[in-house]
Amino acid sequence: MARYIARYIASLWLFAVAPLSAQPMPARFDVAPAAQQIFERDWVLMNWALKFYDTNRDILLEPPEAAIAAAEFRKIADADSDGRITPQEYRAAREFILARY
């Protein structure tokens, strides 16, 4: 349960720095849509997530897969390990993934 909460928090942080974060936050949302939106908004991240975290190989990123991928992306992106991902860190991680995968 603690891990699940950690992923939820991770996805919130990601959600907060996503490029389209100016959109109004839905009144109610849970981890799955938030994590999935990160990948739906960015094809680079989506391709990466599908390549490594589509565990059932159906070419869809289901909520649990998206949550794991979001947590892993956060590990890659949070270069200074302060628990937050700045827009600069987001862009750097995206470039890293684009170049490497």
Binding site for Ca ion (CB under 5 A): 54, 56, 58, 60, 62, 78, 80, 82, 84
| Cβ distance to Ca ion smaller for residue 26 or 56 | 56
| Cβ distance to Ca ion smaller for residue 8 or 54 | 54
| Cβ distance to Ca ion smaller for residue 42 or 78 | 78
Spatial distance between the Cα atoms of 82 and 30, rounded to a whole number of angstroms: 24
Least separation, in Å, of the C-beta of 93 and Ca ion? 10
Task: Write out the H or E segment, with its range, that includes residue 77.
Answer: helix 63-77
Of 5, 10, 21, nearest to 72 (Cα)? Answer: 10
